[in-house]
Amino acid sequence: MTRAPAWRRYLRFWRPDVAEDVEDELRFHAEMRMREYLARGMSDGEARRLAMERLGDLDSARRECISLGEQRERETRRADFLGGVRADVAFALRSLRRTPGWTAVALLTIALGVGATTAVFSVADRLLVRTIRYPNSSRVFVFRRLYQVPRRQLSAPFSIAAVRAWREGARTIEGAEPFMESRWWMRTSADGADSVQVIAAQVDSGFLDFAGVHPLLGSDFTRTRRSAAAQSAMLGASASEPVMLSEGFWRREFGASPAVIGKVIVLGGKPGTIVGVVPASLALPDFRSGPPDVWAPYAADLVTAVAVRLRPRVGRDAAAQELSAILGRSITDPPWWRDVRMRVGLTRPEDLLDFRQGLAILTGAVALLLLVACVNVAHLLLARGAARERELAVRHAMGAGRWRLVRQLVTESLVLAIAGGALAAAVAALALRALQALRPESLMALSYVSPGPGMVVLAAVLAIAGGMAVGLAAAVRSARRDPAAALRANASGTHVAGRRMRGSLVVGEIALSATLLVGALLLVHALYDLERKRLGFDAEGMYSITFQLPNGVRRAARASFGRMLRERARTIRGAEQVTLGTNDFGLIATLASEGSAPEPSPHLVGMSDVAPDYFTVMRMPLLAGRTFDDGSSAQHEVIVSSSLAHGLWGNANPLGRRFHNVRQIDVAKDWMTVIGVVPDVVDNLLQSDAQPQIYQPVEGAPDAQELTLLVRMRHDADGSATALERFAKAVNPGTTPPTIESRLDEIERTAAEPRFITRLMAAFAALAVLLAAVGLFGVISYTVGQRTREIGVRMTLGATRASIARLVVGEGIRLAVLGTALGLTAAAGMTRVIASALYGVSRFDPVSFAGGAALLLAVAIAACVVPMLKATAVDPVTAVRAE
């Protein structure tokens, strides 16, 4: 046995060397034995031999000791670590409890910032990222064909023969499934009277395979369709369509009963047989309206949207090209489409969502908010660090290692982050609930976003990452400080660097919130303008009830039904005036005035059939001419909107002029004579210009399947909706329930998405401004605290309280002005993103910019009030003597 060099022992300072220790211990034992034997008079060699003999199986003893020693070492280290963590956490909790106000502000900042972010992110995740869950969904596109008329894009349907041709001949795709979505009435039993409105998806038999889904119960309609058709043909019964229910609808309406298979229902007026139930996860590629309730076979001959799956490694453009070439070969479009520009293309399913842009705006806004919250937390931690500099310096001087102190500070941030994250998860769940409550009707899909565990994890990760980063930055900064200097320093005039850093953080915070505020104000301004748009008629109290007439109703019967409706509608409680009309429809027309060349290109013209008193009831003043009389229908007399008149005849008098549609389509071909002009009517608040409109007498309308009763209810009428509903039910001629709508609601609904975005933006901006105000308040109070002595000296030297107030508020305003200026500059650049959501308001709108600046400065001054009062209340004698 050779002696280990003495320096070996010093290694223990870093870390115990278990093997060496065991060796040392055993060697010591052998040496002692040897000394014992030598003392008994043995020779050197014999003593050594006997000592080694007594030790016996040295190797196994050594091995065992080493392994035991290492085990002990591990346990000690772990216990040390856990003990340290426990102590740190306990210490952190104690020190956070000592400053309840600070802790509350910090927790609230994290909870609100991270909570709002998490809620919006989880919505964005659901609606923008995880949209459909088909197999290989990255290769799934939707084929659409649109015709483009000025300011509008309309779907241009084509024959289903094209889809068959694709399936046979297209090499770039491996599947093509047409789909359509309708709102239908459904009776859950063939003889039952109660109908429910359902979202019905119509798909081909291959759709389930395309979507990679199997029925939960029963079967797909692939096989059953044929057998059902064969069966009904045999029985001579009317064909019953096979129908599948979605899981949700099945649970809701049928209590998840397996006995629904084979049940006969009535869907959209036609009999159907339930053949299967599909999982709730099955959705159409166009998921705007959420999961359908029922799935029916694709019965139409025309398609507007087809889901296709590209073959691997096929580009979108190549596929679009091939599909449109086959489309061109396999179908013939009606001749009147030749003068319309068509656009064909493959769209990603998530791009079908109009709300995408709105959601992108919200995501950006909430990211800014998160940034403000992070800066605020950083700022709060810095303030705390500064306040505790002396405490840390003392602890350092008393032997706490720097990194021990850093660990302490990081633990504190982590404790804060975890608590804040837990709160944030709660806030996020509440925020999501609020989002869903406010959601526009067009955004059904939003109600299917749920706060899952993923969301909570996201909140925690955001909070902890933020906390770690900020805590570490603050801690490193504290650790770098020279403790001696910190101890020596008296309270005033020291932390210039710290103050400057905090000052710039506050400036950043104010700048971020100014950007957000200006964005929100721009949207508010746009919404304000939208909601005050002149509608061209009085929508207040206007209701429409649309009746579906039974098949085969003739003009005479329709007229007498109309007369009956008018008569009886007068008896509705609260009804003031009633009139009749049919629903509008849009016609792509190229109009020509008598004696002039036709218009250069086709555009969309609204056509509606109305009763003579329609304009009186709608409170649309006749700008010129008269309304319809008994001969109007025979004479093809029409009333036009002012934009149509202006488009055809400029400022010339349109009365008595004749015009017609020259496009090759059998509508409005006859010469129409203008007998009156009415104002343009707005029915969609987002449309920047009014659609030209032609009104024809309702008596002359061709056989239409529906008739609309328009009722103006008195302003003070309570329960209008129920009264109208009762009336509609009583007079309904067919089996399909009538639809009742408030015109005001209908119009306001068109601005639902901007309203939703604007509300959220306003909330985020308010939150950001609040956080910035808290930050500014913190800095100014801190400065006042630091400068108490200086203020005392100034006062002794004759400074008035007013000049002290100016000093304090002046600093706040300086920071606020700087931040606001930066923020407005950034906003000028960033509002490009929301330009298309502004509906005509300039993105440099001075009202919003000036308003934002004024609001922020006002808030900044308010944030300075308390510190200012504190400063002016300084007693010079105490302040100067205090140090």
Interatomic CA distance for residues 659 and 673, integer angstroms = 7
Least distance from another protein to the Cβ atom of residue 64, Å = 4
Torsional sign, CA 110, 112, 115, 118: negative
- Find the part of the chain contacting another protein (CB under 8 A) among 70-78, 416-424, 518-526, 697-705: 70-78
- Find the part of the chain contacting another protein (CB under 8 A) among 62-70, 402-410, 608-616, 705-713: 62-70
Nearest to 699 by CA among 558, 546, 544: 558
**At what angle are helices 356-387 and 752-786 packed, to 10 degrees?**
10
Output 21 or 748, the one with its CB closest to another protein. 21
Output 66 or 559, the one with its CB closest to another protein. 66
33 binds another protein per the rule CB under 8 A: yes
Interatomic CA distance for residues 784 and 383, integer angstroms = 13
71 binds another protein per the rule CB under 8 A: yes
Least distance from another protein to the Cβ atom of residue 86, Å = 19
Token pair listed for 696: 């024809």
Nearest to 512 by CA among 255, 764, 747, 180: 764
Output 58 or 634, the one with its CB closest to another protein. 58
484 binds another protein per the rule CB under 8 A: no
1 binds another protein per the rule CB under 8 A: no
61 binds another protein per the rule CB under 8 A: yes
Output 54 or 570, the one with its CB closest to another protein. 54
Output 73 or 706, the one with its CB closest to another protein. 73
Residue 94, helix vs strand vs coil: helix
- Find the part of the chain contacting another protein (CB under 8 A) among 68-76, 150-158, 243-251, 405-413: 68-76
Helices of type H across 236-355: 247-254, 316-330
Least distance from another protein to the Cβ atom of residue 431, Å = 52
69 binds another protein per the rule CB under 8 A: yes
Q: What are phi and psi of 800, to 5 degrees?
A: -85, 165
Given 1, 11, 35, 301, the residue binding another protein (CB under 8 A): 35
201 forms beta bridges with: 181, 295
- Find the part of the chain contacting another protein (CB under 8 A) among 51-59, 637-645, 658-666, 702-710: 51-59
Residue 576, helix vs strand vs coil: strand
Q: Tokens 């001949």 belong to which residue?
A: 169
Output 16 or 785, the one with its CB closest to another protein. 16
DSSP assignment string, 776-821: HHHHHHHHHHHTHHHHHHHHHTT--HHHHHHHHHHHHHHHHHHHHH
Torsion of CA 233, 235, 241, 247, to 10 degrees: -140
Given 72, 151, 252, 534, the residue binding another protein (CB under 8 A): 72
Output 79 or 299, the one with its CB closest to another protein. 79
Amino acid at 435: L
**Alpha carbon of 606 to those of 583, 639, 668, 693, 741: distances in Å?**
10, 12, 11, 5, 20
- Find the part of the chain contacting another protein (CB under 8 A) among 23-31, 118-126, 682-690, 783-791: 23-31
Amino acid at 83: G
Token pair listed for 214: 């199997």
Given 2, 13, 40, 57, the residue binding another protein (CB under 8 A): 57
Amino acid at 672: M
Least distance from another protein to the Cβ atom of residue 4, Å = 10
Least distance from another protein to the Cβ atom of residue 63, Å = 9
Least distance from another protein to the Cβ atom of residue 25, Å = 5
22 binds another protein per the rule CB under 8 A: yes
32 binds another protein per the rule CB under 8 A: yes
- Find the part of the chain contacting another protein (CB under 8 A) among 16-24, 214-222, 393-401, 526-534: 16-24
State which of positions 811-830 bind another protein (CB under 8 A): none
**With left for phi above 0 and alpha for psi between -120 and 50, is residue 270 left, alpha or beta?**
beta
Output 57 or 168, the one with its CB closest to another protein. 57
Output 69 or 84, the one with its CB closest to another protein. 69
Output 73 or 746, the one with its CB closest to another protein. 73
Least distance from another protein to the Cβ atom of residue 399, Å = 22
Residue 672, helix vs strand vs coil: strand
- Find the part of the chain contacting another protein (CB under 8 A) among 27-35, 512-520, 665-673, 872-880: 27-35
Given 11, 29, 594, 664, the residue binding another protein (CB under 8 A): 29
* Residue 416 neighbours by CB under 8 Å, 6+ apart: 92, 96, 103, 106, 107, 110, 377, 467, 471
Q: Tokens 């509903």 belong to which residue?
A: 725
Interatomic CA distance for residues 708 and 112, integer angstroms = 49
- Find the part of the chain contacting another protein (CB under 8 A) among 55-63, 361-369, 644-652, 873-881: 55-63
- Find the part of the chain contacting another protein (CB under 8 A) among 52-60, 613-621, 664-672, 762-770: 52-60
Least distance from another protein to the Cβ atom of residue 400, Å = 25
- Are the CB atoms for 502 and 377 separated by under 8 Å? no
Least distance from another protein to the Cβ atom of residue 41, Å = 15
Interatomic CA distance for residues 249 and 282, integer angstroms = 12
- Find the part of the chain contacting another protein (CB under 8 A) among 29-37, 359-367, 611-619, 743-751: 29-37
- Find the part of the chain contacting another protein (CB under 8 A) among 66-74, 495-503, 560-568, 616-624: 66-74
Given 68, 331, 850, 877, the residue binding another protein (CB under 8 A): 68
- Are the CB atoms for 118 and 424 separated by under 8 Å? yes
74 binds another protein per the rule CB under 8 A: no
Radius of gyration of the chain (CA): 39
65 binds another protein per the rule CB under 8 A: yes
**Alpha carbon of 876 to those of 333, 396, 801, 871: distances in Å?**
91, 34, 11, 10
24 binds another protein per the rule CB under 8 A: yes
Output 32 or 233, the one with its CB closest to another protein. 32
Amino acid at 746: E
Planar angle of CA 242, 243, 247, nearest 5 degrees: 145
9 binds another protein per the rule CB under 8 A: yes
Output 31 or 354, the one with its CB closest to another protein. 31
28 binds another protein per the rule CB under 8 A: yes
Give, as one character, the DSSP assignment of residue 445. G
Token pair listed for 187: 């009776």
The size of the interface with another protein (CB under 8 A), counted in residues, is: 27
2 binds another protein per the rule CB under 8 A: no
- Find the part of the chain contacting another protein (CB under 8 A) among 57-65, 689-697, 739-747, 752-760: 57-65
* Residue 757 neighbours by CB under 8 Å, 6+ apart: 358, 361, 362, 523, 837
Output 65 or 766, the one with its CB closest to another protein. 65
Given 1, 19, 25, 315, the residue binding another protein (CB under 8 A): 25
Output 64 or 567, the one with its CB closest to another protein. 64
Work out the burial of residue 600: count CB atoms within 10 Å of its CB; fewer than 13 is exposed, 13-18 middle, 19 or more buried.
exposed
- Are the CB atoms for 354 and 753 separated by under 8 Å? yes
Torsional sign, CA 357, 358, 360, 365: positive
**Alpha carbon of 875 to those of 319, 464, 788, 807, 871: distances in Å?**
81, 43, 9, 16, 9
Given 54, 86, 252, 433, the residue binding another protein (CB under 8 A): 54
481 binds another protein per the rule CB under 8 A: no
What's the gap between Cα 392 and its chain centre?
Answer: 45
- Which residues of this chain interact with another protein, rule CB under 8 A? 9, 21-22, 24-26, 28-29, 31-33, 35-36, 54-58, 60-61, 64-65, 68-69, 71-72, 75
